[in-house]
Amino acid sequence: MNKTLLYGILIAGTIIAPFILPDYRTQLATMWLMIIVALTWDMTGGQMGYNSLGNIFFYGTGMYVAAVVGISLAYNVADYTNAAGGGIYKFTDGQYFGGIFLGSIAAGLFCAACAVIIGWITFGLRGPYFAIGTLGVAIAAGELVSNWDWVGGGQGIALPVYPGDFNIGKIFFYFLFAGLGCAVFIFVKWLYSTRFGAAMNAIRDDEEKAEAMGIHTLRYKLIAWAMAAFFVGIAGAISAFQLIHFEPLETAYQTINLGIFMVVCVLLGGKGTLWGPVIGAIMFHVFKEVTWNYLLGWQWVALGALIVVTVVYFQDGVMGWLMLKRPEWFGMKVEQKTASAEAVK
Amino acid sequence: MDQVLGNIDLLFQFPVVNVKILMDGLMIGALFAVAAYGLALVWGVMNVKNLAQGDFVIAGGYVSWWLAQKGLPPLLGVPIAFIVLWGVGWVLYKLVISRVIGRDLFTSLLATFGIAIMIAQILNLIFGSDTQSIKLPYDTLYFFDGFVDVPIAKLIGVIMAATLATGVVVFMKKSRMGQAIRATAQDPRAARVMGIDTEKVYAFTFSLNSAICGAAGAIIVMVWLIQPFYGITYSIRSFVIVTAAGLGNLPGVIAAGLGIGALEQYGAHIFGIGYQQAVAVLLLLLVLLVRLAQQRRNRQVLQ
């Protein structure tokens, strides 16, 4: 009963938010993007113990795949990128929306395939080597794409703007992100309740033992990462059309921005919990946007400091702190001292 | 593609070009090896993977560059960068690193990544995002009818890097503190039992590491370019070298450093200068893959 009410309020809030806060539509859409990347990072990072620093690779790759698919529906990609968004190319409504739809699907599938290939290579690496290896993949991809003239090189790609009213476009992208975010949340909520989720947690707790119990760990790791990559790829595809223009190093493969933010979001909220990434993403985004204007250029330094402070002093996050203070909220029973004393006897 | 083949062809038609690329690569590789030695030190002694390594290098470079702008002789920048970065490392150790030791490895990785972002952004705010370098007032030596040019500044850089490395190695072998550091690396508990203040050793090791990096950066700014956001590539190079060589393997670190310097220069020559950073990162992936293949083989033996 209580839960139904909570979810009802949240869904209603999601739907009316862009209408009661018209000035913050893009901000709210970005908040949903943070929730999506945080939730998907937690699938491997929190639930499976594989801390990737390279999930941003799927975001950037999703952007590029969606842009290339979207453009190639109407024009030759090489000609289009040569013109560098010169404005001579027009897209019909059908081409534009078809581009978003097909581009998103293609981006998701392509990123999932990339995750399987990269994962097959890197999942043999444990602990920090996995983190550094995936970070290397993301940085290398950014550098290679910025030298690839077919997709615009370091200049990036300019995509068509939303056909029709400017404000309707903002609402359109807000609901694309919100819809994807809700889908991801429902999906991971279901996933963590299945045997698959239990196997992921087993891999996190002790990989050797999990393997000894007959869990094919590599297969589970690959599937889990491919699912995460699928959603991040779609999020990247939507971002590509929302941002209109993007370039490889600062927007698509933004290793030190979004790539590290998603980790901080999860740590702030609480690693390995369902609600932690959501709470963390909202907290982080609000903190970032509220302080951004008052720090006068020092905002990036403040964000670096926030990362350090979160990691060093507050690693269990909000959910971990709540679990410590209010275990009964999570259905955990605290053993009485007398009971344990009797057990000793 | 034609351009790439043409560049490879050039290497065979004019063997002298190889000499030039190798000279450049080995000179810069010597500096990579110095920074990587610092990483190996911290990694081995306190098991902290420092992703801010490259940013210490860049920070040292900016200290030296700023002093040169103020009119100090550039060679004096190296010891001053050493001292300044020693202080920075000590403060960072007390504030952050001391609370990270002994926790899971991802914590140290993320915390130092945060530090790396902070250092890069602070440098960017103070000095701007242009590339900087110090021009030394020395001649350039020419060999092979002018095909190979070796600026004396680069030679001085290599000699200073070698001096720095030798100094650190002798210090680690001979001095009381060096012995304490090595003892702590072997077994911190036993070291504590023997009366070594491991907390002090850790603080000293981390400060020494950042000081070494700072001095290396002060040399790099004389022979190459620096920019606030170049740090991450130096960190990755250090990881490549340490991963390839293994911990506590000094000849390996030197060999890997020189090798990576040379490979990078070859990559930049063959694929174009825009790919230099990409080559550095791809080398990391290659080294990780080779290590992985070795582990897989070991595992099969165990089965």
* CA gap B9, B214 in Å, rounded: 39
Q: Give, as one character, the DSSP assignment of residue A125.
A: S
Q: How confident is the model at residue A108 (pLDDT cuts 50, 70, 90)?
A: very high
Q: What are phi and psi of B150, to 5 degrees?
A: -120, 105
Q: Is A124 in contact with B122 (Cβ distance < 8 A)? A: no
Quote the pLDDT of residue A150: 79
Residues of A with CB under 8 A from a CB of B: 51, 53, 121-122, 124-125, 127-129, 131-133, 136-137, 139-140, 143-144, 146-147, 255-256, 260, 263, 267, 297-298, 300-301, 303-308, 311-313, 315
Which residue of chain B is at minimal alpha-carbon distance from A126? B292
Quote the pLDDT of residue A229: 93
Quote the pLDDT of residue A109: 94
Tell me the per-residue pLDDT of B9-60, one tens digit each, with 9 for 90 and over.
777 777 777 777 888 888 888 888 888 888 888 888 888 888 888 899 999 9
Tell me the per-residue pLDDT of A79-106, one tens digit each, with 9 for 90 and over.
777 666 555 667 777 888 888 899 999 9
Q: Is a pLDDT exceeding 50 seen at residue B302?
A: no
* CA gap B27, A109 in Å, rounded: 45
CB B43 within 8 A of CB B241: no
Please name the fold of domain B2-302: ABC transporter involved in vitamin B12 uptake, BtuC (1.10.3470)
CA neighbours closer than 13 Å in the CB half-sphere of residue B116 = 26
Quote the pLDDT of residue A127: 67
Quote the pLDDT of residue A139: 86
**Partners of residue B111 in chain A, C-beta under 8 Å:** 307-308, 311-312
Range with the largest mean pLDDT of A162-166, A209-213, B59-63, B222-226: B59-63
Quote the pLDDT of residue B303: 38
Q: Is a pLDDT exceeding 90 seen at residue A227?
A: yes
> Is pTM beyond 0.90 here?
no
Which residue of chain B is at minimal alpha-carbon distance from A263? B110
Quote the pLDDT of residue A335: 62
- Each domain of chain A, given as residue ranges in start order, spans 26-255
Quote the pLDDT of residue A232: 93
Average pLDDT score over residue span A51-69: 90
**Cross-chain CB nearest to B121 (options A125, A139, A304):** A304
Of A23-32, B43-52, B293-302, the one with minimum mean pLDDT is B293-302
Which residue of chain A is at minimal alpha-carbon distance from B299? A124
Tell me the per-residue pLDDT of B66-124, one tens digit each, with 9 for 90 and over.
988 888 887 888 889 899 999 999 999 998 888 888 777 778 888 888 899 889 888 88
Q: What is the ipTM of this complex?
A: 0.78
**Partners of residue B120 in chain A, C-beta under 8 Å:** 256
Q: Which helix (H) or strand (E) holds A158?
A: strand A157-158
Q: How confident is the model at residue A237 (pLDDT cuts 50, 70, 90)?
A: very high
Q: How many residues does chain B have?
A: 303
Q: How confident is the model at residue B151 (pLDDT cuts 50, 70, 90)?
A: confident
Q: Give, as one character, the DSSP assignment of residue A87.
A: S
Quote the pLDDT of residue A228: 92
Decide if B3 touches A, using CB distance below 8 A.
Answer: no
Q: Is A127 in contact with B113 (Cβ distance < 8 A)? A: no
Average pLDDT, chain A: 83
Q: Is A311 in contact with B111 (Cβ distance < 8 A)? A: yes
Average pLDDT score over residue span A16-21: 81
What percent of chain A is predicted at pLDDT more than 70? 92
Which residue of chain A is at minimal alpha-carbon distance from B43? A128
Q: Is A128 in contact with B49 (Cβ distance < 8 A)? A: yes
**3 state SS for chain B:** CHHHHHHHHHHHHCHHHHHHHHHHHHHHHHHHHHHHHHHHHHHHHHCCCCCCHHHHHHHHHHHHHHHHHCCCCHHHHHHHHHHHHHHHHHHHHHHCHHHCCCCCHHHHHHHHHHHHHHHHHHHHHHHCCCCECCCCCCCEEEECCCCEEEEHHHHHHHHHHHHHHHHHHHHHHHCHHHHHHHHHHHCHHHHHHCCCCHHHHHHHHHHHHHHHHHHHHHHHHHHCCECHHHHHHHHHHHHHHHHHHCCCCHHHHHHHHHHHHHHHHHHHHHHCHHHHHHHHHHHHHHHHHHHHHHHHHHHHHHC
- Each domain of chain B, given as residue ranges in start order, spans 2-302
Q: Which residue has the tokens 């999703």?
A: A62
Mutation for A interface: B234, B281, B299, most A CBs within 10 A: B281
**Cross-chain CB nearest to A125 (options B104, B106, B292):** B292
Average pLDDT score over residue span A232-261: 86
The vertex-A114 CA angle with A111 and A119, nearest 5°, equals 125
**Partners of residue A127 in chain B, C-beta under 8 Å:** 104-106
Quote the pLDDT of residue A345: 44
Tell me the per-residue pLDDT of B177-217, one tens digit each, with 9 for 90 and over.
888 888 888 888 888 888 888 888 889 999 999 999 999 88
**Cross-chain CB nearest to B285 (options A133, A312, A315):** A133
Q: What are the residues whose beta carbons fall under 8 Å from the beta carbon of B185, sequence distance 6 or more?
A: B44, B45, B248
Q: Is a pLDDT exceeding 90 seen at residue A233?
A: yes
